[in-house]
Amino acid sequence: MSARAGRVPVLALLLVTFAAAAFAQEPIIDVSKRADRRIAIGVGRFETLTTEEVGSPAGDVVAFDLEVSGWFEPKRPGMLPPRAFEDWARLGAEVVAEVRQEGGTLVGAVRDAGTGDVLFRREYPSGRGESLRQRLHRYADDVVLALTGEPGIARSRLTCEWVPPEGGDKRVVTLDLDGFNVRELTGERALEVGPRFAPNGKSIVYTSFSSGFPDVYVHDLVLGTRDRVAHYEGLNADGDISPDGRRIALVLSTDGNPEIYTKDLTTGRILRLTANPATESSPVWSPDGRRLAFVSDRTGGPQIWVMNPEGHDVERVTLRGTYNTAPDWSPDGTRIAYCALRSDGFQVQVVDLATREVTTVTDLGGCEDPCWAPDGRSILYSRKAGGRTDLYVTNLTERRALRVTRGDGRYSTPDWSPVP
């Protein structure tokens, strides 16, 4: 995005005093929530932080974090880095991010590009168990909050299926939002699919074939332990934990045909919600726990449906197209994202549950497995292109896609954690 002419100086947009700004919920800059209004922020190379320490150039880390938030347009230096605030202003920056190390402490600030005045400053000492890269993510989130009044998402985590470059079975991995710090969840060499975070972000539910059969497990991310919660005869798959953490929705074929059930995680009681010869799959809880979205081909091709947790009040949601799968609720429960097969391939679409208006989020084809950002402003999905399968994030306001994964292997079926 190019710099827009006629922008007023940042200091003219101050809404609160500097003394209260650092942790205030009111924004420093009034971005007016307009679709075309990103804050142009200069992000340098931060040369006191080496690539060896961070894992990649520190400026790239902060620039991605700010851009993926949807509130900032990073301005990066060319061959000759800006040496004064006037240089940043000529690049179109309204504010400038500053990061340096003083001993073991990371010092982050934001200054007005026109005056050099400090708008935000905070220190991030070592010794809290955070890596230097994690402290950069924290700084980026603090900048978003201080300048816009909205929480940042840089410290949220992702989980997904991953196929290693040498091939083999899919494995569940976790990774940072910027695609770094990829870690296998179990280290086993069994097929693992369908990972989803628990609502508190502290565990992941997934299906594993480690026993030779498809079973559903809940993996505790804090303790590193896992519990097998579904080991019934036949298929056990598509687990999703309820918002209150008490139940899990899943697909079982213990009675013959794959159907949707819920299981009480305390008592072990299971409740069958569907009962027909159709194929049912992909149950996901609404944020308030009052509804479940799922996929059924009971009217022909697969479509998105909703019902209550007792299996009643069943209603079809997708009324267009012949193939719609992989539903995911928006954080406010008003919309559902899903994958639609169209004439131009698989695309991510969003349906408004009140109006039934459908919006297409992607336009390049090969886009599947959508899930919502914690703030509801973006959607994460997998995309097949150029012989790769990678994760991308698209901001819903601008339809701007950012590639997340760049490492070896293939990444698919992602889920996005809450912000810690």
- Write the pLDDT tens digit of every residue in 73-90: 999 988 778 888 889 999
Which pLDDT score is estimated for 127? Answer: 80
Kind of pairing, strands 410-416 and 157-163? Answer: antiparallel
Determine the 3-state secondary structure of 66 from DSSP.
helix
Q: What does the pLDDT read at residue 33?
A: 44
Domain locations along the chain: 10-148, 157-416
**10-148 CATH pick, 3.40.190.10, 2.60.120.260, 3.40.50.10070, 1.20.930.40:** 3.40.50.10070
Report the alpha-carbon distance of residue 334 to residue 178 in Å, rounded: 27
pLDDT tens digits along 335-381: 999 999 999 999 999 999 999 999 999 998 999 999 999 999 999 99
pLDDT for 36:
54
Which has more pLDDT, 36 or 152? Answer: 152
pLDDT of residue 18 exceeding 50, the answer is no
Structure confidence at residue 3 (pLDDT): 33
The pLDDT of residue 78 is 81
| pLDDT, tens digit, 9 for 90 and up, residues 126-167 | 988 899 999 999 999 999 999 999 999 999 999 999 999 999
Q: Can you give the pTM of this predicted structure?
A: 0.90
Domain 157-416 in CATH 3.40.50.720? The answer is: no
Mean pLDDT for 35-60 is 91
* Distances from the Cα of 322 to the Cα of 314, 341, 346, angstroms: 19, 8, 12
Q: What is the pLDDT of residue 194?
A: 98
Q: What is the pLDDT of residue 103?
A: 87
Average pLDDT over residues 95-109: 95
Task: Count Cα atoms within 13 angstroms, Cβ side, for 97.
Answer: 35
Largest CA distance in the chain: 71
Q: Provide the pLDDT for residue 27.
A: 63
User: What are the Cα distances from residue 14, in Å, to 21, 132, 175, 333?
Assistant: 10, 31, 36, 33
Extended beta strands in 164-264, E state: 171-176, 183-184, 192-197, 203-208, 215-220, 226-230, 236-241, 247-252, 259-264
- The pLDDT > 90 percentage for the chain reads 85
Express each pLDDT in 229-282 by its tens digit. 999 999 999 999 999 999 999 999 998 999 999 999 999 999 999 998 999 999
Q: Are domains 10-148 and 157-416 of this chain identical in fold?
A: no
Q: Choose between 24 and 367: higher pLDDT.
A: 367
- Under the banding of pLDDT at 50, 70 and 90, the label for residue 28 is low
Return the pLDDT at 8.
34
The answer to whether 219 and 207 have CB atoms below 8 angstroms apart is no
Average per-residue pLDDT in the chain?
91
Which pLDDT does position 15 carry in this prediction? 33
Instruction: Determine the pLDDT at residue 17.
Output: 32
pLDDT over 50 at 197, yes or no: yes
Q: Collapse the DSSP code of 175 into the 3-class scheme (helix H, G, I; strand E, B; otherwise coil) and give the result.
A: strand
Q: Check whether 23 has a pLDDT greater than 80.
A: no
% pLDDT > 70, the chain: 91
